Amino acid sequence: MKFFVDTAMLDEIRDLAEYGLLDGVTTNPSLIARSGRDFKETVAQICAMVDGPVSAEVAATDAPGMIAEGEVLAALAPNVVVKLPTTLDGLKACRHFAGQGIQTNLTLCFTANQALLVAKAGATYVSPFVGRLDDLNLDGMALIRDIRTIYDNFAFDTQILAASIRNANHISAAAIAGADVATAPAAVIRGLIRHPLTDAGLATFSADWAATGQSIL
């Protein structure tokens, strides 16, 4: 499974890239607003730092506006993925970009039917929002499983990008459910390696090694 980091913060992206844990980046208007940075400049900088796909979301809600904005975003760098809302206008824009060979990420997907339409429109990625469904006491991971089944039934090549990932359990569950990609905050990705028994075991090994008085070098 590929990992994308869900952020507009360059230092977080740089840090994860150093661990080899980064396959791409997703941003959204809320993350850009939180960063306080210029949108297009930030996207161009991220694209220069990361080899993989970088999702940049349009602001327009009508198809002609999405197409116009998406073309500006796609021109920023070859690894830009135009992020579009999962609406009828979004499908129209998605079809347009698929015809141009420009990658798309259809965001704010909450049902299997939406995911079916997104795949038929030729999206590169669909982003089902797991955490926001869980917030409503619904089962976000069941949606990932349903989309996997539908895409496999019809051999759609749209990739399932599990989004709104909030914790480590979401990542492993998305991997088991067959998501192609998970996008998560940097802290969630970094936290996957941690286990108290790893820390305790390492502390014991270090103390026992020190007691031997030996040196490997």
Q: Is 3 in the site for ligand E4P (CB under 6 A)?
A: no
Active site residue 83: yes
Q: Is 95 in the site for ligand E4P (CB under 6 A)?
A: no
C-beta of 163: minimal distance to ligand E4P in Å? 4
Scanning 41-49, 115-123, 125-133, 190-198 for contacts with ligand E4P by CB under 6 A, the matching segment is 125-133
Which is nearer to ligand E4P, 158 or 183 (by Cβ)? Answer: 183
Scanning 40-48, 127-135, 147-155, 172-180 for contacts with ligand E4P by CB under 6 A, the matching segment is 127-135
- 33, exposed or middle or buried, with CB in 10 Å at 0-12, 13-18, 19+? exposed
C-beta of 188: minimal distance to ligand E4P in Å? 10
C-beta of 116: minimal distance to ligand E4P in Å? 19
Of 164, 177, 180, 189, the one binding ligand E4P (CB under 6 A) is 164
The DSSP code sequence of 152-196 is: HHTT--PEEEEBS--SHHHHHHHHHHT-SEEEE-HHHHHHTT--H
Q: Is 127 in the site for ligand E4P (CB under 6 A)?
A: yes
Q: Is 178 in the site for ligand E4P (CB under 6 A)?
A: no
Residue with the closest Cβ to ligand E4P?
A: 164
Strand 181-184, strand 80-85: pairing: unpaired
Q: Which of residues 101-120 bind ligand E4P (CB under 6 A)?
A: 107
Q: Which of residues 7-36 bind ligand E4P (CB under 6 A)?
A: 26, 28
SS (H, E, C) 55-96: EEECCCCCHHHHHHHHHHHHCCCCCEEEEEECCHHHHHHHHH
109 in helix, strand or coil? strand
Which is nearer to ligand E4P, 187 or 193 (by Cβ)? Answer: 187
Query: Active site residue: 2, 83, 92, 120, which one?
Result: 83
Find the helix packing angle between 39-49 and 63-74, rounded to 10°: 50
Residue 150: both structure tokens together: 């539908």
Question: For residues 160 and 67, what is the distance between their CA atoms, to the nearest angstrom?
Answer: 23
62 closest CA partner among 24, 91, 31: 91
**CA distances, 135 to each of 29, 130, 171, 177 (Å):** 20, 9, 16, 19
Positions touching ligand E4P (CB under 6 A) are: 6, 26, 28, 107, 127, 129, 131-132, 163-164, 183
Q: Which residues form the catalytic set? A: 83
